[in-house]
Amino acid sequence: MDFDVIIIGCGPAGLQAAIHAARKKVKVAVLGHLEASGLNRADVENYFGIDQMSGKELLFKGAEQARRFGAEIFEQDVMKAERKDDAFEVITDHDLEFRSRALILAPGISRKKLNVPGEKEFLGKGVSYCASCDCNFFRQKTVAVIGDESTAASSALLLTEYASVVYWISKNLNVAPQLMAKVKASKADIISPASVARITGDEVVKGLELNDGRRLAVDGVFIELGAKGAADLALDLNVLPDPSGIIEVNKDMETSVPGVFACGDVTGMPWQLARAVGQGCIAGTNAAKLVRKEAD
């Protein structure tokens, strides 16, 4: 499907970008899940003109507003984003392909923790939150991917190209049928329902203990909870985030890669609704201007 602007992220920054881009009469697609936004679980009491409102109510009002101006929202996870020739190509967990001339990254900063013993101690010593960043370190080794959703599935698939053994440990498989079929056809070993009790080792990761008492000998543990992270998406596009996953932008919300913009929490602190909305306005406006200029 061809669009002028693709926005990755359904939070306040992404939706505000969609509103401003669509108002400039360009074709806009927003990819992501509204429920995944941090605003969905918050209460709003310090935003201009609003005494108190649930974040969920404000978020869904914003989505409806974006649709009213012409933006299309696809509640799907992004699996891959890359530049091809003079356009950007994005592929979702439903095997849909989107193309655009400008792209806005607004995925938030969700690096969710597993919160089990050994996770913090072995971070960087076998524990990773980014399969695409660290897969090369685990060639011909045994690894485990932990998570229930699309990012865990795609990480398990990726790691089968590097590791000799890949376990995917999930409490509740929640993946689009198209993506699930690919994992089942791969060499990944799916262990579900199951959950991790602790990560074990000495100087580096050596194993996992599951809540049912089973033990697995592994060299690496990839914690992939939720949708594909900002750092992964940025790297796909040759945008280099800092070690914490923050993407640098200029005053126009442009990244170092022409045609790629970023806004919201992924650009750094303070992580506030007002800042996210303001940056979304700038990113959406400038992405639309870029597309319209190219069209002229």
CATH class of 127-223: alpha beta
Q: What is the pLDDT of residue 294?
A: 63
CB 80 within 8 A of CB 27: no
% of the chain beyond a pLDDT of 70: 97
pLDDT at residue 205 tops 60: yes
Give the Cβ contact number of residue 87 at 10 Å: 16
Distance CA 167, CA 169 (A): 6
Q: What is the pLDDT of residue 174?
A: 87
Domain 5-110+229-295 shares a fold with domain 127-223: yes
Give the Cβ contact number of residue 110 at 10 Å: 19
Q: What is the pLDDT of residue 176?
A: 86
For 61, phi then psi, to 5°, come to -65, -40
Q: What is the dihedral of CA 110, 190, 237, 138, to 10 degrees?
A: 100
Give the start-to-end residue ranges of the domains of the chain.
5-110+229-295, 127-223
Q: What is the pLDDT of residue 295?
A: 56
Quickly tell me which residue has 């108002």 as its tokens.
23
Q: What is the pLDDT of residue 130?
A: 79
Q: What is the pLDDT of residue 227?
A: 62
pLDDT at residue 178 tops 60: yes
Digit-coded pLDDT (tens) for 222-271 = 998 866 667 778 888 999 888 777 899 999 999 999 999 999 999 988 88
Distance CA 23, CA 31 (A): 18
CATH class of 5-110+229-295: alpha beta
Q: What is the pLDDT of residue 226?
A: 67
